[in-house]
Copies of this chain bind each other. A is one copy, B any other.
Amino acid sequence: MPRPTKQSPERGDARTRLLEAACDVVRQKGFAATSVDDLCQEAGVTKGAFFHHFKTKEALGVAAANHWAETTSALFANASFHELDDPLDRVLAYLDLRKGIIGGEVFEFTCLVGTMTQEVHESAPAIRDACAESIFGHAATLEADIEAARQQRGIDADWTAESLARHTQAVLQGGFILAKATGDPELARESVDHLRNYIEQLFGVAG
């Protein structure tokens, strides 16, 4: 899904370009430190266009979180691991996919909604709620496979599929923070490895 560039004239409309700019710039600088002018410049549009499409900067934040939820859910919905028959294999393949994405520049693999949540959880509830829906909506797609795996293998666990799905998201988000602290993606991958190891152990798989 190649993103239109500033050179190419048939790139998306201003609204879409602003949302994509927000994904990139906010992940680099944070939401508060990203100015409306920053976004307009990155998107190649004017402020008039910005405030035509978004009533306020906060409204853009909400729309960006929703845009993020849409694009990432499409990404994972189309991934090939869903074709695996064994639900546990699907869960583990999901983790492998997540790990494989982590690399290159920090802003390229980190999570927009995790970043925004940290900043605005108190001051902008509308953005926070949109971020929460993205995170937990995504976790819910994983929860189904975890629960299926648990039932299929007859695991009598003291944890719920819901909590384990949420835990995967916590590990990913936390890994991103360590990666940001050092600039080294390996720290995020390392935590995914521990998470995979944990899930294998929960399901009695030999490492």
Contact = CB atoms under 8 A, between A and B. Distances in A.
Quickly give the copy total for this chain. 2
A128 B207 CA distance: 35
A121 B170 contact: no
A86 to B, nearest CB: 21
Contacts of A190: 163, 166-167
Interface size class of A (residues with CB under 8 A): 35 or more
A52 interface: no
Nearest to A175: B170
Interface in A165-180: 166-167, 169-175, 177-178, 180
A128 to B, nearest CB: 6
Interface in A16-75: 28-33
B118 A119 contact: yes
Interface stretch (A3-11, A77-85, A95-103, A130-138): A130-138
Contacts of A173: 173-174, 177-178
A178 B198 contact: no
A33 B207 contact: no
A193 B167 CA distance: 10
Contacts of A169: 174, 178
Interface in A142-171: 158-159, 163-164, 166-167, 169-171
Contact of A119 (B119, B164, B193, B201): B119
B107 A181 contact: no
Contacts of A197: 159, 198
| 5 nearest CB pairs, A to B | A174-B174, A170-B174, A32-B32, A121-B180, A30-B119
27 contacts: A28-B122, A32-B33, A32-B119, A33-B119, A117-B177, A118-B119, A118-B177, A119-B119, A128-B180, A128-B181, A131-B181, A132-B182, A136-B181, A163-B194, A164-B194, A166-B190, A167-B194, A169-B178, A170-B174, A170-B175, A170-B187, A172-B174, A173-B174, A174-B174, A174-B177, A194-B198, A201-B202
